[in-house]
Amino acid sequence: MEERIKKIRKILQEHSLDGMLVTTTATITYLTHFDFLSPTEREAYIFITEKNQYIISSFLYKEELMHAAPYFDFLDISSAGGKPFWEHVKEITKKKYVDKIGFEADNLTVAEYDILHKQHLTLAPLSISRIRFAKDAEEIALIAKACATSDRAFEKIQPYIRPGITEKEVALQLDTFMRQEGAEPSFKTIVAFGKNAAVPHHTSTTTPLQQKDIVLLDFGAKVDNYCSDMSRTLFVGNPTKKEKHAYETLHTAQEKAYNFLQTQKAPIAASAVDTVAREYLMHHGFPNFPHSLGHSIGIEVHDGFRLSPISQTMLTEGMIFSIEPGIYLSGEFGMRIEDIVVVTKNGPQILTTSSKALLVL
Amino acid sequence: MEERIKKIRKILQEHSLDGMLVTTTATITYLTHFDFLSPTEREAYIFITEKNQYIISSFLYKEELMHAAPYFDFLDISSAGGKPFWEHVKEITKKKYVDKIGFEADNLTVAEYDILHKQHLTLAPLSISRIRFAKDAEEIALIAKACATSDRAFEKIQPYIRPGITEKEVALQLDTFMRQEGAEPSFKTIVAFGKNAAVPHHTSTTTPLQQKDIVLLDFGAKVDNYCSDMSRTLFVGNPTKKEKHAYETLHTAQEKAYNFLQTQKAPIAASAVDTVAREYLMHHGFPNFPHSLGHSIGIEVHDGFRLSPISQTMLTEGMIFSIEPGIYLSGEFGMRIEDIVVVTKNGPQILTTSSKALLVL
């Protein structure tokens, strides 16, 4: 874990800063191994100096935090006995002679900035999200475990997908399979039948499955704070010629993106991978899909970068991301195939292992 | 729904502003009836002028958003064909002659502020979270429905709470009961056995239940975007004298807070309600509990204000909040009793109806 803090100290040095205020919840989890209760409330801050590291949080979390990350000093912000975060920051900067403080401009709120600014602290925006881009061995193992969990759930759900069952019921059953293994769903499970599958971010409804429907499943597991994400498209009854052609073209587009990764030497432009799948689909007469080809995954389902036409990211060893082209024909049907891929020293490797062969239930 | 937008226009007038940029996800849900996929990513902005309202979001959500909130104009921020949010804001301000724009300082990030500032827009911090404090009839009905869902789950879970079952298994079963009714858990269900219950924010583990354990359940349902939250403490086998005394004192403390609400005329200081329960427990020799007595509830589980010693909130008609005192004896046991209360014209009313009588399983 010290290695992770060192990454921040290195960036601080490069920017001639001697303190860093970390506010992004996922980065705090990355540094502490601790998962907070609320995704939307500010439950903790981390402050890193040249030699010390502080976790500034509520007394309510102290015991669990100190167990997960004993290498941090704990400072209390609870209303019962603690102090506001900025008072702690001010005291640290005085005690440790911290001069210039980096902060996460895409996460710190204007109100938080203003109160720090009023303390006559020198603040500089500093993006550190890239420390989470390349995963270490421990993280890769956890994401692989999460992928195996969702693979098993996909295997188990298939006998349930029969005419009459609703989207919500399939989603509940998928989630239950993951939770029975001690995992959580990594995001709200998407189950879309028939025309609903043409809406890329469809919310599961009480629509019952009908013979001849296409079934799109997009879901993931969270295991020890790390996420998986996968999409599969199934057919209830034999697909039409048009559907079969679309599925096969989509499958090939996804494989072509992966094969491209195999033939390139890292660093590989993320945008180039997107182009391979996107142009293949458009070349075969399918519409441009309205989302990126993929996204990094880790503590968050969307963990920092994307594989899109405008992505600036270069893919290097340790990076883990989805490859998920889609075909959406409004009012007709939709389909998506998604795998999770890790870039290793010896090339890319797929962590989701469920079959992508056309599956008729 | 127009009423909800009017509330913002009224605040704008009071502050001589003619535009409002809304960024808090829950407030966007409040104004659109639409629930976004990610709690941590910025998926939408709302901009309100004197006469118009715009939802600025990804094309991926357009269809569902326009269905949920047809009274908004949709502006696309997706990378495929859209524009960054600040370009849309700039165009609206030009077209509609907007001069001064309010923004949510406790939500807008420094990076977002900076890019708006660079467009030569005049920005003023303006808190609008209070528009969600008092609930309207529709919201009260949805929260009552969510409370009924968690009440039923509590009824159904009791036969499962037997020695040998783990905390995680109870949590999964509770969540499944809620989801079978089409609800979602409103937060990560807390199940704590024995000593674990002494940690107020305990995360459910694989600890198996033992004879003589105390069981603390803290969970809630989310129904049509609105949350419930309840805590109950149960005994597996007869409690010791000390445990029984603690439970009865806690129960009385909770009732005293509610009775206090009954005897007062709104507006009632939230801090005074906290004091009633807190002092009763301390007067009877129990430690000061390290959290507030309660919190408002609505679209979010923690929906804006707290009932704490330092709370400035005055409780008025339509406000809905929890009353949840606790006793935590580290290394021994913990207990908490929590109900959801709404302030009506005719006094307070409890929306959670599960019994609080000492229950031995």
Question: Would the CA dihedral through A109, B15, B303, B313 be positive or negative?
Answer: positive
Identify whether the C-beta of residue A152 lies closer than 8 Å to the C-beta of residue A144.
no
Q: What type of residue sits at position A170?
A: V
Task: Name chain A contacts of B295, Cβ cutoff 8 Å.
Answer: none
B35, B79, B175 member nearest A308 (Cβ): B79
Task: Name chain A contacts of B200, Cβ cutoff 8 Å.
Answer: 60
pLDDT at A36: 85
Interface test with B, best of A38, A110, A204, A301 (most B CBs within 10 A): A110
pLDDT at A1: 61
Query: ipTM surpassing 0.90, yes or no?
Result: yes
Task: Name chain B contacts of A106, Cβ cutoff 8 Å.
Answer: 109-111
Task: Name chain A contacts of B79, Cβ cutoff 8 Å.
Answer: 292, 308-310
* Cα-based angle A40, A45, A50 (whole degrees, multiple of 5): 150
Query: Which residues are B125's β-sheet partners?
Result: B103
% residues pLDDT > 90 (chain A): 93
Region A93-122: what's the mean pLDDT?
96
pLDDT by residue (tens digit) across A1-32?
689 999 999 999 999 999 999 999 999 999 99
Q: What type of residue sits at position B256?
A: K
Angstroms from B251 CA to nearest CA on chain A? 22
Identify whether the C-beta of residue A211 lies closer than 8 Å to the C-beta of residue A162.
no
Identify whether the C-beta of residue A192 lies closer than 8 Å to the C-beta of residue A153.
no
Alpha-carbon distance B259 to B280, whole Å?
13
Among the listed residues B295, B129, B103, B121, the one whose alpha carbon sits nearest the alpha carbon of residue A113: B103
Angstroms from A266 CA to nearest CA on chain B? 25
Q: Inter-chain contact A290–B59, Cβ cutoff 8 Å?
A: yes
Task: Name chain A contacts of B82, Cβ cutoff 8 Å.
Answer: none
Per-residue pLDDT of chain B (361 residues; tens, 9 = 90+): 689 999 999 999 999 999 999 999 999 999 999 998 788 899 999 999 999 999 999 988 998 899 999 999 999 998 778 999 999 999 999 999 999 999 999 999 999 999 999 999 999 999 999 999 999 999 999 999 999 999 999 999 999 999 999 999 999 999 999 999 999 999 999 999 999 999 888 889 999 999 999 999 999 999 999 999 999 999 999 999 999 999 999 999 999 999 999 999 999 999 999 999 999 999 999 999 999 999 999 999 999 999 999 999 999 999 999 999 999 999 999 999 999 999 999 999 999 999 999 999 9
Tell me which residue has tokens 């938080």.
Answer: A112
Q: Which residue segments constitute the domains of chain B, with CATH numbers given?
A: 2-132 (3.40.350.10), 137-350 (3.90.230.10)
pLDDT at A140: 98
Region A44-72: what's the mean pLDDT?
95
Provide CB contacts within 8 A for B97, sequence distance 6+: B18
Q: Inter-chain contact B187–A64, Cβ cutoff 8 Å?
A: no
Q: Inter-chain contact A114–B105, Cβ cutoff 8 Å?
A: yes
pLDDT at A292: 95
B37, B63, B105 member nearest A110 (Cβ): B105
pLDDT bin (cut points 50, 70, 90) of residue A257 is very high
What phi, psi does B300 have (nearest 5°)?
-105, 155
Residue A336 has pLDDT above 90, yes or no: yes
Give the strand pairing for B122-125 and B100-103: parallel
Nearest CA in chain B to A300: B40
Among the listed residues A170, A315, A151, the one whose alpha carbon sits nearest the alpha carbon of residue A230: A151
Residue A138 has pLDDT above 80, yes or no: yes
